[in-house]
Amino acid sequence: MNNDEILQALDQQFSLNKKSAKVVVVGLGKTGLSVAYYLRRLGLQFAIVDSRKKPPYNDELLAQMPDVAVFTGGFEPAVFDVATHIIVSPGVSMEEPLIEQAIAQGVRPLSDIDLFACSVSAPVVAITGSNGKSTVTTMLGSMAKAAGKRVAVGGNLGTPALDLLAEQAEVYILELSSFQLERTSQLNAVAATVLNISADHMDRYASMAAYAEQKHKIFAGNGVMLLNMDCPHVAAMQNADRELLTFGFHDAADYTVIDTAEGESLAFQGRAILAVNELLVAGVHNQANALAALALGSVIGLSEAAMCDALRHYKGLKHRVELVANIKGVSWVNDSKATNVGACVAALQGFKNTSVILIAGGDAKGADMSDLVPVLKEKVKMLLLIGKDGMLIKQAINDCIAVLEVHTLKKAVKKAAKIAQSGDTVLLSPACASLDQFADYKERGGVYSAEVMRLKE
């Protein structure tokens, strides 16, 4: 779509136009910056506010758009008073008092995903879930490339959605978080999925039902719904009026795993597609991820041969059940991306051995850590706790296994090295966010990997 077509769509959907609209962009992170570039390109009036004194992209914005009004260090009522529209970045709660007040007074809220949806004519695939969404998004992206498609991949993962528009792709694949979805109304993906629902962001949502409700918004529109039949929260989202595909290890699922004479195989409606042992990524959870990617790829017309070839070469993402080293028979695995309980459970269930030394802890985000108990009893021989909520986790699991509070990740690695024996796995899978001690999960995973490599040296 050209700029005139986009402006026409924005005016039609949101009364967002050059004549009367005054947009306030809340948050100058990666998403906020992408919104600023987009609005500037279309010639729309906007200002930016951020509660931080020096937001991450402040210098870049001022260098590229020195005439844009930027208000930092807090939210000023006067800025919101003149707004006609408000675009709130995912990291900012919609329950901020000035944001709630502005919306109550008639200011129109929208999201970067709404802007994207009004600006694209090529098919969009949308992926969300508590766990696995980055893996499925990148799996599907590699499948599309293998099939010879011009594909753009981003959203919550990597490149912001609006920045993808410059790629003029044949298909767009978006990973979307609950925070993005909660403020989005215009998305109409040709295929969309909620991979799973487990406790996450309970510090932002009143209940699991409220969290699941935001995830469900990915199914707006009339595209194909892909549901995980193994997750009750997701299976309950079924809509009889919509075209439906299913995946999982449930007998009735369209895409599942079957036994063949040669061993287990990914399959579609009983027909074997790819032997499980051809996957480079380990774990039952990655089999489920592959099934989801195959299903989504089928909707956008990717050939099965190309999709299988991509899966044979897919090595996974850093910080997601990533083997760092094998030292004296001990496997050291980095799963720092496991920022919630469900991700930690999935990682542990993927290990066949029952001699795991687990390093967990950080910011629990209000989650119920007692959900870890069954898999801890089954798989873990020692739990090493780090971070601010270590004591909360210890109390929640109620001495179901041996526990040591070591507080820091560096101490955890050193302690694990003393405990581990040949055949053991030391797994960093925190079940918590990282922001109590690290900039993000990538820094946490990097510190872990560096400490492990020091052991090897």
The verdict on 175 and 300 lying in the same domain is yes
Chosen domain end from 69, 95, 110: 110
365 against 287, higher pLDDT: 287
Mean pLDDT (whole number) for 16-25 = 96
**pTM score, two decimals?**
0.82
Q: Which of 230, 223, 222 is nearest to 253 (CA)?
A: 230
d(CA 381, CA 420): 10
**pLDDT at res. 201:** 57
Contact 231, 132 (CB under 8 A): no
Q: In the structure, what pLDDT confidence band is assigned to residue 306 with cuts at 50, 70 and 90?
A: very high
pLDDT of 247-298, one tens digit each?
999 889 999 999 999 999 999 999 999 999 999 887 788 999 999 999 999 9
Rg (CA), the chain: 23
374 & 426 share domain: yes
Per residue in 61-92, pLDDT tens? 999 999 999 999 999 899 999 999 999 998 89
pLDDT at 238 over 70: yes
Total structural domains in the chain? 3
User: Cα–Cα distances in Å, from 415 out to 57, 298, 451?
Assistant: 39, 47, 12
pLDDT at 363: 93
Are 252 and 337 found together in one domain?
no
Residue 217 binned pLDDT confidence (cut-offs 50, 70, 90):
very high
What CATH code is carried by the domain that includes residue 43?
Answer: 3.40.50.720
Structure tokens at 189: 């993906």
Q: What are phi and psi of 129, to 5 degrees?
A: 150, 160
Residue 184, helix vs strand vs coil = coil
In a shared domain, residues 244 and 174: yes
- Averaged pLDDT, 232-249: 94
Statement to judge: residues 254 and 347 lie in one domain: no
Same domain, 164 and 199: yes
End-to-end CA distance of the chain: 55
Is the pLDDT at 315 greater than 60? The verdict is: yes
Q: Which two tokens stand for residue 306?
A: 């190309």
| 202 — pLDDT class (breaks 50, 70, 90) | low
Confidence of residue 318 (pLDDT cuts 50, 70, 90): confident
User: In this structure, what token pair is assigned to residue 392?
Assistant: 């909360």
pLDDT exceeds cutoff 90 at 449: yes
Q: Which domain holds residue 144?
A: 115-313
Could you list the active site residues?
Answer: 133, 156, 201
Do residues 58 and 152 both lie within one domain? no
Mean pLDDT of 231-259: 94
Give the DSSP per-residue string, 279-330.
-SS-SHHHHHHHHHHHHHHHHTT--HHHHHHHHHH----TTSSEEEEEETTE
Tell me what pLDDT residue 365 has. 86
Q: Mark which of 313, 338, 363 sits at the end of a domain.
A: 313
What's the pLDDT at 199?
61
- Of the three residues 285, 313, 341, the one that is the final residue of a domain is 313
Same domain, 301 and 157: yes
- Do 104 and 178 lie in a common domain? no
Indicate if 248 and 360 belong to the same structural domain: no
CATH number of 140's domain:
3.40.1190.10
Q: What whole-number distance in Å separates Cα of residue 109 and Cα of residue 123?
A: 25
CA distance 342 to 367: 10
pLDDT of residue 204: 65
Q: What are the Cα distances from residue 16, in Å, to 9, 84, 145, 304, 431?
A: 9, 9, 35, 42, 41
Distances (CA, A) of 428 to 25, 135, 200, 337: 37, 18, 18, 9
DSSP state of 107: P
Let me know whether 363 and 417 are in one domain.
Answer: yes
Dist. CA 376–CA 32, nearest whole Å = 40
Residues 129 and 198 in one domain: yes
In this predicted structure, the answer to whether residue 343 has a pLDDT above a threshold of 80 is yes
Choose the weakest-confidence range: 47-51, 313-317, 426-430: 313-317
Angle (CA) 404-410-411 rounded to 5° is 35
Residue 249 burial class via C-beta count within 10 angstroms: exposed 0-12, middle 13-18, buried 19 and up: middle
Average pLDDT over the chain, rounded to an integer: 93
Yes or no: say if 119 and 111 are a contact pair by the CB < 8 Å rule: no
CATH number at residue 342: 3.90.190.20
Closest CA to 40 of 59, 20, 58, 25: 25
Per-residue confidence (pLDDT) for residue 368, from 0 to 100: 87
